[in-house]
Amino acid sequence: MAGGYCYNLRGREVYRLERLEGVLEKIRFYSEESAYLVGSLRCQDGKTVTIVGNFPPMQEGENLLIKGSWQVHNRYGKQLEVENWERILPATEEGLKRYLSSGLIKGIGPVTAARIIDHFGLNTLEVMEKEPHRLQEVEGIGAVKAAGIIKSYSQYKDVQNVLVFLQGYGVGVGQAMRLYRRYGSETVERVQENPYRMAEDIFGIGFKTADKIARQLGMPEGSPERLQAAITYSLSRAAEEGHVFLPRQILLERVRELLDTSGEVLPENFFDEQLLSMMEKKRIHIEQMDDGAAVYYAPFFKAEQSSARLVMNLSRFVRQVSPIEAVQVLGRVKYDSSHLTEEQLEVLEEALHNGVLIVTGGPGTGKTTTIKALLAMFRLLREKVVLAAPTGRAAKRVTEATGQEAFTIHRLLEYSYSEGEGFRFQRNEKNPVEAGVVIIDEASMVDLILMYNLLKAIPSGSRLILVGDVDQLPAVGAGNVLRDLIGAGNIPCFRLGHIFRQARESLIIVNAHRINRGQMPYLNVKNRDFFFLQEEDPEKAAQLVVQLCRERLPNYGPFDPLLDLQVITPMRKTAAGVDRLNTLLQEALNPPARHKTETIGKGTVYRHGDKVMQIRNNYQKEVYNGDIGLITAIDREEGELVVTFRELLQPRPVIYDFTELDELVLSYAVSVHKSQGSEYPVIIMPVLTQHYMLLQRNLLYTGITRARKLAVLVGSKKALAIAVHNNRAEERYSYLDGRLLSGGTNR
């Protein structure tokens, strides 16, 4: 070890500067977003030290030369804070074996690394760089495997170049990897050409990051390109919040806040000039409404306007059923299903005479029974009926409940890759779905863009029946489609209100309806399916949730902690929030063990047996936002892990490259929003005053109605009362209801 001394600014405390060379023996923590690493470095003299600092993705076994200063952490003790570092190519055969088998290069694990080193010795890296075809000389490496190793090694070098370039502009490692997956070897050139495209093209990269790079590349502060990028980004962020458009004044305020500027620097006339310029380029649409101008991102305007027109067309042009046919088929269904209520029979009758019909209602009111009766009725009429739902989980559930196969909407519309056009819906107005009746379950989850693509694919003369609970949380995407369709008042809508006797015996359902009416749930009634455990302290509540999942509920059920129990919580960043509970539950339910392989991504340890969730739609893998599965294999040699999704229509294993781990999160605990469309045997839900910002009636209602057999709330009665009495619906800027009232025409 070599070192010197430096003083802090006050000249008091002395730190020893160190220059260390060694092997990264253990990665204890790594965040791809901040690139912050905590690890153990085994130095050349055999001593092991703790190092902390910012690094690109590393693998255990890498040789590093680092420089930094010592600090003493209150909790973790003495550690070296790294100021700069560099990778060192191994100088020994043993070092080369550790380097190659570290997981950096896909296809090379410990066995293959040993064979390569045994064959090429210390010349291995030179051979891989200059004569990679010679890898086939090694036993066990054929042409296919050699090609895979060469490709991975080339990508590894490309990634390192991209990381070095982008980190100079403050782009985090996770963001850099997303850029590389989108742009490949052209990443640096694309970013230099137009940094603002990053904010539009890459999930998770914000305007601030793109703007910082643009400014460093010399783009002026007052350029039209900068303002237009800020407008586009603000509208995109608004869509992520559920808004279809933004009022002009609110958009202006958001853009000024984003640019961290004032009215003097961004006068309204310059802002309006850019809006008009973007409208001329058909990037946005501006519409005058009663309370001022509304600014739409162009795809959302087209979706809203066209959806209204298509709904009204389906309503007007439908194949009529003769009075005699109607009487006969209704009589037959009523005879076969004597348990149907009068309101359900009324739904059936109206379905015969309307092109678009909505059925809503809470749990236990017979929505699924109504779907089964509709299926039976239209079969008697020899109408082809297709059944679909927004997610695989919801489609699987309605399939099991009705006996008819249900599709996801994406599968129904054949979302797939098309040469020259990328991924798109293959079913549309030119190639419609072959069906006389389309029934959509869990319709409250359908956002505007998906509804638009569905409507385009329903042939004229067919019927569309939407079934869902309008009192649940709205769709994660933009729009409030089901609520707007009902609110317009010109689409037939039936609210099922009769709670069936069997459902009335469930306190889950009784309490859900009480909450929906603004009444406190029953908490002290002897029952078997609803419990409230009083605990006001957030930290103690979190520990109680862990105890319930690890011991109490598995013994009470018996319930499988991974397959049957689901923790649902309102917020992410609290003591009893999603992130903290996932850490605690992983430690409790799937602790590390010698036989369990693991890897690190986004600062999270992913371990064989972990419960994980897909957080973005991945159409190539056919897994979607909210799908939950278990990690059933991790292959460090190939740089892959396998997640088996049991909730899909056809349970199957899905392979993820280690560079795709940003699509997965631990899911021992999930947010209420992410739980939509799912049912679990048991839910455990913290309800604490710490969650004040999100304590809303529809959120509590949605969470409780996810439970099929047992619901357990952990928290305080005060927090519960806040949620029950807070009926302030999430405001979303949309105008689908207004367009429907005007007959589906443009204003």
Of 258-267, 371-380, 558-567, 654-663, the range with the lowest mean pLDDT is 258-267
DSSP string, 19-54: EEEEEEEEEEEEETTTTEEEEEEEETTS-EEEEEEE
User: pLDDT tens across 565-593, in order?
Assistant: 999 998 888 889 999 999 999 999 999 99
Q: What radius of gyration, in Å, describes the C-alpha atoms of the chain?
A: 29
Give strand pairing partners of 296: 245, 285
* Mean pLDDT to the nearest integer, 361-373: 93
* Mean pLDDT to the nearest integer, 293-312: 96
* Mean pLDDT to the nearest integer, 422-430: 87
* Pairing between β-strand 437-440 and β-strand 463-468 as defined by DSSP bridges: parallel
The label of the residue with tokens 């603002």 reads: 196
Rounded Cα–Cα distance for residues 135 and 139 (Å): 9
At 7 the pLDDT is 36
At 646 the pLDDT is 79
165 compared with 714, residue with greater pLDDT? 714
Of 16-20, 219-223, 429-433, 651-655, the range with the lowest mean pLDDT is 16-20
116, 131 in Cβ contact below 8 A?
no
In this structure, what token pair is assigned to residue 549? 């999942």
CA atoms within 13 A on the CB side of 720: 23
* Pairing between β-strand 77-87 and β-strand 628-635 as defined by DSSP bridges: unpaired
32, 22 in Cβ contact below 8 A?
no
At 196 the pLDDT is 85
* Mean pLDDT to the nearest integer, 328-341: 85
**Residue 582: exposed, middle, or buried by beta-carbon count in 10 A (0-12, 13-18, 19+)?**
buried
User: pLDDT tens across 177-196, in order?
Assistant: 777 777 887 888 888 888 88
690 compared with 226, residue with greater pLDDT? 226
Kindly state the percentage of the chain with pLDDT values over 90: 46
At 10 the pLDDT is 36
568, 669 in Cβ contact below 8 A?
yes
537 band by pLDDT with thresholds 50, 70 and 90 = very high
At 527 the pLDDT is 74
Q: Omega before 558 cis (within 30°)?
A: yes
At 13 the pLDDT is 42
User: pLDDT tens across 239-298, in order?
Assistant: 988 999 999 999 999 999 888 764 456 788 899 999 999 999 999 999 999 889 999 999
Kindly state the percentage of the chain with pLDDT values over 70: 92
Of 116-130, 216-230, 289-303, 339-353, the range with the lowest mean pLDDT is 216-230
* Mean pLDDT to the nearest integer, 484-488: 94
Q: What is the pTM of this model?
A: 0.79
User: pLDDT tens across 41-88, in order?
Assistant: 999 888 999 999 877 767 777 788 888 888 887 777 889 988 777 777
User: pLDDT tens across 698-719, in order?
Assistant: 999 999 999 999 999 999 999 9
Mean pLDDT estimate for the chain: 86
What are the two backbone dihedrals, phi and then psi, of residue 393, each rounded to the nearest 5 degrees?
Answer: -65, -45
- b/e per residue 228-247 (b: at least 16 CB within 10 A): bbbbbbbbebbbeebbbbbb
At 8 the pLDDT is 37
3-state secondary structure of 298: helix
At 3 the pLDDT is 42
At 304 the pLDDT is 97
* Mean pLDDT to the nearest integer, 619-628: 82
Rounded Cα–Cα distance for residues 636 and 633 (Å): 10
* Mean pLDDT to the nearest integer, 209-225: 83
